[in-house]
Structure 1
Amino acid sequence: MLTLLSISSILAIDLCFGEIPELFNGGKELLNAYYNFCIGLVASYVFYFIVVHVKEQSDKDNVKAYVFSKSNCVVGNYKCVIRAVKKEVGYMGTEDYFDQEKIHELFLKVVPNSDAPMVSSYDSSRLNWVQFLNDYRISSIRLIDKMLKVMPYLDTEHIQLLSAIEDSHYFIEISGLSGIGNPDISIWSETFYKYSLDCKALEKYNARFW
């Protein structure tokens, strides 16, 4: 508003008041001082817009690309897990999200200490299913932590969605495990289902902005 007023004053002085005779002693000097003040104010705004605002917008665009690539990877980690489970049990459907009953049915067929479709990055040995699940948990946590480091650029909805996944009971339950004595992984079907809902919500959010 102040900038618009300054521009209007500059135009008015240049077009109208510049040629009007001095109404009182020192009036011309006062008008010139006000004119220079307005010029300085407009110049400051132009400097701010070019140097500060444009850079801030560029930073936001760059961070947005960085954040949403990671946000999509968090969803991708969930899909890698559920697709691996589907392949393991011979389920041929193409969907990635299921109700809790179906997840329980799928998890009943996965033997936790059997070989999973992943090898260790340390010695190239095959990971079992518990290690496989935990590896994707670690990957998602790292992705989320990287995004939260640029929290000032995230909106509150995105932060809440990421935090829900990071703090999910499913992640808490499998954290640090390398094997279990159970015959299947159905003990995690309920918490995995809730985790899937969080990932589905994040996927919908990502689609709105990217």
Structure 2
Amino acid sequence: MFLINCLKAVNPTLTFLFVLSIFSIILIDFFLIEVPEFVGWGAEFGKVWSSLCVSIISSYIFYFVVVHIKEYKDSLNLGLYLSRKCQAVLSSHEQVMRELRSKIEDDSNEKYYDLETLHKAFLAISPHGKAPMVIGPHLNNANWLQFFYNKSQVSKDQIRKVYEQGKRDERFSIRISS
């Protein structure tokens, strides 16, 4: 299954040239070998075309084995890594929204509020009042300022990890900039 997905991810033009080359080699070696020449240079053209097709086939196999499989594995691993980090940021945001929603008694499942609703939610909480988070070795309740600070730090940490991974992986940095 991995190999099939990996083959599907190859540039279609390269795959077309590969299949065309295989088809040409089969056609020349099994069917056209017995056909008399229509033009004087037909045999030379057949040899050159056959050599070109063999070169394309070997280049495709080299590219697939040496370059493409590694890039495909890297993209899968990078996708999983980015997915986990993005999910952590979204989860932190959803927890903040859930807690704010409970303070303004909003029954909707909105993930994003407009400024007016956010303003209403922030007016409903006391910055130094108890927040739904415990901190420290004695499990004391954090206040809302500490709660928001913690959630922003979690998000910043996840984003920093993604950025650092991007700096380590030059191809990822190039993909982001383009």
Q: Which TM-score band applies after superposition, normalised by the shorter structure?
A: 0.5 to 0.7
- Residues 18 and 57, structure 2, Cα contact 8 Å, conserved in 1: yes
SS in 2 for 1:94: coil
Structure 2 runs not aligned, ≥5 long: 1-12
TM-score (norm 1): 0.56
Letter in 1 for 2:108: T
Q: 1:99 to 1:9 in 2, by over 3 A?
A: closer
73-82 or 146-155, which moves further after superposition?
A: 146-155
1:126-183 CA distances to partner (integer Å, 9 max, x unpaired)?
3211111011001111112223324718965xx8xxxxxxxxxxxxxxxxxxxxxxxx
**Pair 1:112 & 2:136 matched:** no
**Pair 1:95 & 2:113 matched:** no
Report percent identity of matched pairs: 31
SS in 1 for 2:25: helix
Aligned-partner Cα distance in 1 for 2:46–2:136: 75
Q: CA deviation at 1:8?
A: 4.7
The residue that corresponds to 1:86 in the other structure is: 101
The residue that corresponds to 1:72 in the other structure is: 87
SS in 1 for 2:124: coil
The 5-angstrom pairing of residues 16-95 of structure 1 reads 16-19=31-34, 35-36=50-51, 38-87=53-102, 89=103, 91-95=105-109
Aligned-partner Cα distance in 2 for 1:19–1:13: 9
Aligned-partner Cα distance in 1 for 2:48–2:121: 80
Say how many residue pairs are matched: 153
Aligned-partner Cα distance in 1 for 2:136–2:34: 81
* Larger RCO, structures 1/2 (Cα 8 Å, 6+ apart): 1
Structure 1 runs not aligned, ≥5 long: 160-210
Q: CA deviation at 1:85?
A: 2.5
CA root-mean-square deviation? 3.6
TM-score (norm 2): 0.64
